[in-house]
Amino acid sequence: MPKQERADAARNRQAVLEAAERLLAERGHVSLDEVAAEAGVGKGTVFRRFGNRAGLIREILAERSRALREAVTSGPPPLGPGAPSRERLMAFLAELTGIGEQNASLLSAHEAACADHKHEDPSYRFWAQHIADLITAERPDLDADFLSHAILATFDADLIRHMRTRGPGAFTSAVQAMVTAILDAPRKQQDPSFN
């Protein structure tokens, strides 16, 4: 049975995450010292809980994606099981791009803090695998693993900010149009000389 988190530790954790998100939204960057001061906790508390800046950023992103992960694994369709793969993929991308549009500063900080280990981040791995699984279900002839990473590569904070100048939802619409074009691309005809 997992150990229950103490109430004061849970409050401190929440205060640190909220402080980090506020600072990211205001400045686009944070240091652990600034986060500790903003949250009203000691610097040691932040270091013990998150290890380093990358650990803190990863935890914020995990918090943001937790509800989406639950909806994907056990929620109702179209995000959850039961809907056709294309419908699930578009619903998932709508939710994920929505998170991106609302949290460009967080994505930018994540890119900077976790650049060397981005593909090992649990949230990133979950997203990439889910996208790959849905692409495979819809188009088994495509390289779903590559495409899942290519789609997630569009979640660039500068690109999201640029797309926001076109209006709310522009990034979401563009990503969905790109994925629709990929899924609707003609299937390769197998060369009969290889038989």
The pLDDT assigned to 183 comes to 97
One-letter-per-residue 3-state SS of 80-134: CCCCCHHHHHHHHHHHHHHHHHHCHHHHHHHHHHHHHHHHHCHHHHHHHHHHHHH
150 occurs within a structural domain: yes
Rounded CA separation 56/49 (Å): 8
The pLDDT assigned to 1 comes to 47
Together in a domain, 102 and 39: no
User: Residue 29: which domain range?
Assistant: 1-51
pLDDT tens, residue by residue, 174-188: 999 999 999 999 987
Together in a domain, 124 and 177: yes
Q: How many domains does the chain have?
A: 2
The pLDDT assigned to 107 comes to 75
What Å distances lie between residue 13 and 27, 60, 113, 136, CA to CA?
21, 10, 19, 38
The pLDDT assigned to 129 comes to 97
Rounded CA separation 20/17 (Å): 5
190 occurs within a structural domain: no
The pLDDT assigned to 3 comes to 60
The pLDDT assigned to 116 comes to 67
Closest CA to 75 of 61, 60, 95: 95
Rounded CA separation 90/66 (Å): 19
Together in a domain, 42 and 92: no
Together in a domain, 124 and 30: no
The pLDDT assigned to 156 comes to 87
Together in a domain, 15 and 74: no
The pLDDT assigned to 73 comes to 95
56 occurs within a structural domain: no
The pLDDT assigned to 139 comes to 97
Q: What is the torsion angle, in degrees rounded to the nearest 10, for the CA atoms of residue 60, residue 64, residue 66 and residue 68?
A: -160
The pLDDT assigned to 165 comes to 93
Give the domain CATH number at 30: 1.10.10.60
pLDDT lower than 50: segments of the chain? 1-2
85 occurs within a structural domain: yes
The pLDDT assigned to 100 comes to 85
Is 0.75 topped by the overall pTM?
A: yes
Give the domain CATH number at 132: 1.10.357
Together in a domain, 39 and 88: no
Together in a domain, 35 and 68: no
